[in-house]
Structure 1
Amino acid sequence: MATHSTCATPIKGTHMRIIELDACGVPITGTGGLVAVTKGFVQVSMEPQYEDGQEFFERTADGSPCVNQKDDPTLKRINLTSQFCEINASAASLMISARELVSGTPATGTGFALAEGNPTRRYSLEVWQEVAGAGACDASGQQRYIYNAWPNVGATQLGGYTIENGRSTLETTSETRGPSAQWVSLVGSDYLPVGETVEEDEHWVWNVTTTAPPTIQCDPTTLAA
């Protein structure tokens, strides 16, 4: 157990980063992969999925409780719901396993086409938040951030999309898995304490850091090896 603890009050969501993974949860480096950083999201909501523990209850012949015990619940995965007010064609194609529509030279993603079938593509999802109040900066004057990471996300389904006299919001729902060891070394190490890692059964990372979020831009980039 740590001898000291950090307290911080999270507020707002300022940056989101989506990084393409392979089927094993390993970040894809070089031109075969995709990295997108955006602020055009409305919210990301998280709903942990637990399996209830098995309950053992037995009465004696006179009706008195003889055995009364229940196992602890088990966390199976986390369901994520993301809503976007700005649609990045490349990032959306990745998240919902759609075919990206491309035009021009250099190639520019202009849209996507969604086919029937299983959503197979995977990605990691990171969200940065501000720290509210007097704790917004550390003792040395450096700005602090809340870093949220779901290192292995997939099974993403497209939610409702309404066209009306108003803004249209793209919604996705997805499920988490445990991370690959390569995700930590290639992605998460910049925002975790030195020497820390993410274990194979850990689905959500939350950390207070002074490392600034990546730069927001519409054009997708790639991940260096």
Structure 2
Amino acid sequence: MATHSTCATPIKGTHMRIIELDACGVPVTGAGGQVSVTKGFVQVSMEPQYEDGTEFFERTADGTPCVNQKDDPTLKRLNLTSQFCEVNVSAAALMISARELTTGTPTTGTGFALAEGNPTRRYSLEVWQEVAGAGACDASGQQRYIYNAWPNVGATQLGSYVVENGRSTLETTSETRGATAQWVALVGASYLPAGETIDPDEHWVWNVTTTPPPTIGCDPTTL
């Protein structure tokens, strides 16, 4: 048990990073993978999906409750809904398993084409928040951040996209799986306390850190 605790008030969302994973949830390194960092998101909404526990209830012959017990619910996964006001072509194509449209040298992504079929591509999703109020900096004067990470995300579906006399928002819905040791080593370790890790059955990480977020840029990079 921790002997001290950290209190922090999360506010806003400042950075999002999307890192390509393979089918096993391992980050794709080198030229075959991509990393995108953006601030052009409106919100990320998380909804836990639980399986209700089995209920056991039986009455005796005179109607008196004889057995009255219910098992605990089971967390199966987390559903994420992300909304984007700025469309980063490379990141969007990755998230919704679309084919990126490219041109020129160096190769530049200009759009994407979405085909019928199953969404197979996977990625990790990280979001940084500010810390509000007096706790915005630690005792040594370093700025603190709230680090949210969903280390293994996929089954992403495209949500509504409206063209009208107003802004258009790209929406996606996706599901989480547990983290991999490779993701922790290559990505998450920088934002976790020294010596901490993430277990394979853990789907969401929330941590207060002084490690700053990555640099925002339209062009994708690699691990």
Fold conserved (TM > 0.5)? yes
Q: How does 1:64-75 map to 2 (within 5 A)?
A: 64-75=64-75
Query: Is 1:208 paired with 2:208?
Result: yes
Which residue in the other structure is 2:9 paired with? 9
Which 4+ residue blocks in structure 1 deviate beyond 3 angstroms?
A: none
Deviations 1:101-137 (A, max 9, x none): 0010000000000000000000000000000000000
Which residue in the other structure is 1:47 paired with? 47
Q: In the aligned structure 2, how far is the partner of 1:211 from the partner of 1:180?
A: 22
Q: In the aligned structure 1, how far is the partner of 2:60 from the partner of 2:195?
A: 54
Q: In the aligned structure 2, how far is the partner of 1:202 from the partner of 1:16?
A: 20
Q: Which amino acid aligns with 1:89?
A: V
Q: Which runs of 5+ in 2 are unaligned?
A: none
User: How high is the TM-score relative to the length of structure 2?
Assistant: 1.00
Q: In the aligned structure 2, how far is the partner of 1:192 from the partner of 1:38?
A: 21
- Equivalent pairs counted in the alignment come to 223
Q: CA offset at residue 179 of structure 1?
A: 1.0
Which residue in the other structure is 1:127 paired with? 127
Q: How does 1:146-165 map to 2 (within 5 A)?
A: 146-165=146-165
Which residue in the other structure is 2:25 paired with? 25
Deviations 1:16-71 (A, max 9, x none): 00000000000000000000000000000000000000000001111101000000
Which residue in the other structure is 1:142 paired with? 142
User: How high is the TM-score relative to the length of structure 1?
Assistant: 0.99
Q: In the aligned structure 1, how far is the partner of 2:41 from the partner of 2:136?
A: 22
Q: In the aligned structure 1, how far is the partner of 2:16 from the partner of 2:103?
A: 25
Secondary structure of the equivalent of 1:112? strand
Q: Aligned-pair RMSD on alpha carbons?
A: 0.3
Q: Which runs of 5+ in 1 are unaligned?
A: none
Which residue in the other structure is 2:62 paired with? 62
